[in-house]
Structure 1
């Protein structure tokens, strides 16, 4: 590999570590490389995330005409890292790169031998089997969502088995969020009597076990290999103790109840929208309970957007004379209560140092 190419790739890896693998933060770095004709260097980088690949391909397409492929050794030097640990081609610096520092890297293991992966795989398999008995009209909604979130747990654990500590925290955070979302879909399924109480308890216990395993792993890494890195706390709050979550589940119950009325029988699209918006609200609240504040804020905001969409659909049902405004009073009160709690929490997050 061209030494300059390797230098740029190593510099980018280091920048990624500094910014906690946040695509929002490293996006400017990618744009800068694209403008200078060097984004192509990252095209075949093996350890990039899906989000990174999307951004890299976007900038490569946008700035394709200015990409420089020859005489790289004569180009300007790579700018220094914000952490003052940028990798340079000098022999002395290679010994000191964070990527080769044992305190900042992990030994890669076979994810399929990891107990947490095995648990996540078994959970996904049982959910797939369980979903075969769901009503056909839920195939594109609850079934699709719960299978997606369950698959995400396993997938993120597998991606997380790599050398980079911050990326492991990032992938495990997504896995934990997906696990909590899976639990939310299980609770929605129980509420609609698609599954039994015993089935719910068995699968929800498996979800808790996976979260516990991931949390313990991250805690050990933070205490040992992660010393000197500003890593987030691996301990996440229990979403079931969050008042807005219970109210969101109750909101789902009420939306399903009202949309089963005879007046809605000819309004399939409206019914589908209302149910998807209500369940999206509870799913996003659940997924928000993970490691990073920025992600928590984003999922809370997505939950607010779902509430806004639900409000619009409810207004449409009133305008069409399908249901009266008075009969929706309980739903409106729940929706406002959830919105107020989420808004207050988002305000607190904004006042804290971003995670």
Structure 2
């Protein structure tokens, strides 16, 4: 019967996740609840979970290792029906359970829904998207499948997430605005990469970068006001985010992108189109993920920093292939290696600090 219960717990977790529309707040609460009850281990082998869920499962499995129940689950959970199972693993109180004062207070912390088209932050995001699309029409054709698509996607995401954040729930507004802020910072990264390759001018960059900065400031101010008023008593993150341009790993990642473009423009790479595309994608992905990590929630920061490290690992493998083919030298590999090591060390330290912050 234990295997049946494991399967039921997994199905119930998937169902709850879909009902919550994959809200990171509900997912985290559900996983913590399963960890406290000693059954989070049943999710460890799920194949349809994202990296953020994997990180949380590992964290809570570690934090609540002593709680885990591996035998006689049916006896421990007192399972008699699927309804009882749902109640046993649900993070929500049953109808017969009276919610605490804290939860009653949170229920009242709702927002008034407004017409988002009148919101200055939305108007600025729409202006940014339009100008980015216009600018990208002059990019080289070989960048359409990557830089153009990526910068248009990130710019569009800002507007879309602001629109999705216009709802009654305080926590979900913070969630959607956090993603919008991350997308704005990612857009800045693609703009800097584009300027570095002279696809856009310094004046064009400054204009669009100023727009993204305005959007971030407006969203930050809006969240700050909500936290002080409607969000009192709620565990909401600080809405202020650092300027990614002051982050050492990000600046080194931009230098890495320039170096990769420089070497892949040489005639030795003319016959290696697949490798060229992969090298550029890994390098630019590293910079873009570092930028997008500069948002509100620790879990999301961790995820994007981790994706940057993955991009670096992929770059390492490709560069070794280039060395074997004789299209880059040992000296060039070492020069790039200095940047890679610096980025990896900064990100590893940052992620370690985030883990301590989360645990605290």
Within the candidate set 88, 110, 120, 2:95 is matched to: 88
Match of 2:348 in 1: 343
SS in 1 for 2:221: helix
Unpaired segments of 5 or more residues in structure 1?
1-11, 31-50, 53-73
> What's the TM-score, normalizing by structure 2?
0.76
> 2:27 aligned with 1:23, yes or no?
yes
Superposed CA deviations along residues 66-105 of structure 1, whole A, max 9, x for unmatched, are xxxxxxxx954845976xx836379x87999749843x21
Q: Which residue of 2 aligns with 1:297?
A: 302
Cα RMSD after superposing both structures: 3.1
TM-score by length of 1: 0.77
Choose from 256, 278, 286 the match for 2:283. Answer: 278
TM-aligned CA deviation for residue 352 of structure 1: 1.4
Counterpart position of 1:238: 243
TM-aligned CA deviation for residue 315 of structure 1: 0.4
Tell me, yes or no, if structure 1 residue 209 matches structure 2 residue 214.
Answer: yes
**Counterpart of 2:202?**
197
Q: Number of residue pairs matched?
A: 299
Deviations 1:147-172 (Å, cap 9, x if unpaired)? 00001101110100011111110110
Change (3 A) 1:189 1:263: same
Tell me the alpha carbon deviations over residues 288-332 of structure 1, each in whole angstroms, 9 at most, x when there is no partner.
000011111111110000000001110000011112122222111
Q: Which residue of 2 aligns with 1:308?
A: 313
Q: Is the contact made by 1:20 and 1:167 (CA closer than 8 Å) also made in structure 2?
A: no
Structure 1 residue 283, shift from structure 2 partner: 0.3
- Structure 2 segments unaligned to the other structure (5+ residues): 1-15, 35-51, 54-81
Q: 1:262-302, CA deviations, whole angstroms, 9 ceiling, x for partnerless residues?
A: 00000000000000000000000000000011111111110
Once the two structures are superposed, residues 193-212 of structure 1 have per-residue CA deviations (whole angstroms, 9 ceiling, x without a partner) of 00011100000000000000
The one of 133, 143, 146 equivalent to 1:138 is 143
The residue number in structure 2 matching 1:61 is: none
Residues in 2 aligned to 1:298 and 1:116: alpha-carbon distance in whole angstroms: 26
| Aligned pairs for 1:66-77 within 5 A | 75-76=83-84
Question: Which structure 2 residues correspond to residues 47-196 of structure 1 after superposition, within 5 A?
Answer: 75-76=83-84, 78=87, 86=93, 88=95, 98=104, 101-102=107-108, 104-196=109-201
**How far off its partner does 1:109 sit?**
1.0
